[in-house]
Amino acid sequence: MANPRKILVTSALPYANGPIHIGHLVEYIQTDIWVKFQKLRGNKCIYLCADDTHGTAIMMSAQRKGCSEEEWIAAVSEEHQRDFAGFGIEFDNYGSTNSPENYELCKLFWQSFRNAGLVRKEAVTQLFDDEKGIFLADRFVRGTCPKCAADDQYGDSCDQCGATYSAREIINPVSTLSDTTPSVKTADHLFIQIEKLHDFLDQWTQSGEHLQSEIANYLKGHFLNEPLRDWDVSRPEPYFGFEIPDAPGHFWFVWFDAPIGYMASTKQYCDRTGEDFESWWKDPSTEIYHFIGKDITYFHTLFWPAMLKVAEFTLPKKIHIHGFLTVDGRKMSKRDGTFVKAETFLKHLNPAALRYYYASKLNNRVEDLDLNLKEFTTKVNTDLVGKVVNLASRTAKFVQQTGLSPEYPEDGGLFQKAAEAGDAIAAAYEACDFNRAIRLIIELADQANPYVESHQPWNLRKDPERQQELQDVCTVALNLFRQIAIYLQPVLPEIAEKTNSLLGDPIVKWEQAASPLTGTPVKQFEHMMKRIEEKDVNNMIEESKDENETVEAEENTTQSTDSAQPLIDEPLADEITFEEFAKVDLRVARVVKAEHVEEANKLLKLTLSLGGDETRQVFAGIKKAYNPEDLDGRLVVMVANLAPRKMRFGISEGMITAAGPGGEEVFMLAIDEGAQPGQRVH
Partner RNA sequence: GGGCCUGUAGCUCAGUUGGUUAGAGCAGGGGACUCAUAAUCCCUUUGUCGGCGGUUCGAGUCCGUCCAGGCCUACCA
Chain residues binding RNA by CB under 7 A are 147-150, 160-164, 213-214, 217-218, 221-222, 294, 361, 363, 365, 367-368, 370, 372, 375, 378, 381-382, 385-387, 389-390, 393-395, 397, 435-436, 439, 446, 449-450, 452-454, 456-459, 527-531, 599-603, 619-621, 645-649, 652, 655, 662
The alpha carbon of residue 461 and the mean position of all alpha carbons in its chain are separated, in whole angstroms, by: 52
Are residues 160 and 152 in contact, defined by beta-carbon separation less than 8 angstroms?
no
Largest CA distance in the chain: 105
Report, in Å, the least distance between residue 349 CB and RNA: 14
Concatenated DSSP letters of 289-341: EEEEEGGGHHIIIIIHHHHHHHTT-PPPSEEEEE--EEETTEE--TTTT---B
Nearer of residues 90 and 367 to RNA, judged by Cβ: 367
Distance CA 590, CA 611 (A): 8
Distance of CA 559 to the CA centre of its chain: 35
> What is the nearest approach in angstroms of RNA to the Cβ of residue 622?
7
Rounded to a whole number of angstroms, the minimum distance from the CB of residue 450 to RNA is 4
**Do 75 and 81 form a contact (C-beta atoms < 8 A)?**
no
Question: In angstroms, what is the minimal distance from the CB of 584 to RNA?
Answer: 14
| Residue 374 Rama label (left phi>0; alpha psi -120 to 50; beta) | alpha
Work out how close the CB of 655 gets to RNA at its nearest, in angstroms, rounded to a whole number. Answer: 5
**CB-wise, 18 or 386, nearer to RNA?**
386
Nearer to RNA, 343 or 469 (CB): 469
* Nearer Cβ to RNA (287/368): 368
Give the shortest CB-393-to-RNA separation in angstroms.
4
Partners of 616 in the β-ladder: 608
Treating both helix axes as pointing N-terminal to C-terminal, what angle do 414-430 and 434-455 enclose, rounded to 10 degrees? 170
Within 400-465, residue ranges assigned H as helices are: 414-430, 434-455, 457-460
Whose Cβ is closer to RNA: residue 268's or residue 405's?
A: 405
Q: Nearest distance from residue 436's CB to RNA, in Å?
A: 6
Q: 29: how many CB neighbours lie within 10 A of its CB? A: 26
Nearer to RNA among residue 137 and residue 647 (C-beta): 647
Entry field: residues in the chain = 682
Backbone angles phi, psi at 607, to 5 degrees: -110, 120
Smallest distance from the beta carbon of 65 to RNA, in angstroms?
31
- Taking the least distance from each CB to RNA, the nearer of 23 and 182 is 23
Shortest distance, CB of residue 214 to RNA, whole angstroms? 3
Nearer to RNA, 454 or 559 (CB): 454
What is the secondary structure of 474-516 as a DSSP string? HHHHHHHHHHHHHHTTTT-HHHHHHHHHHHS-----GGGGGS-
Which residue number, 7 or 396, has a Cβ lying nearer to RNA? 396
Q: Are 343 and 543 in contact (CB under 8 A)?
A: no
Q: What distance in Å separates the CA atoms of residue 118 and residue 357, rounded to the nearest whole number?
A: 46
Residue 134 identity (one-letter amino acid): I
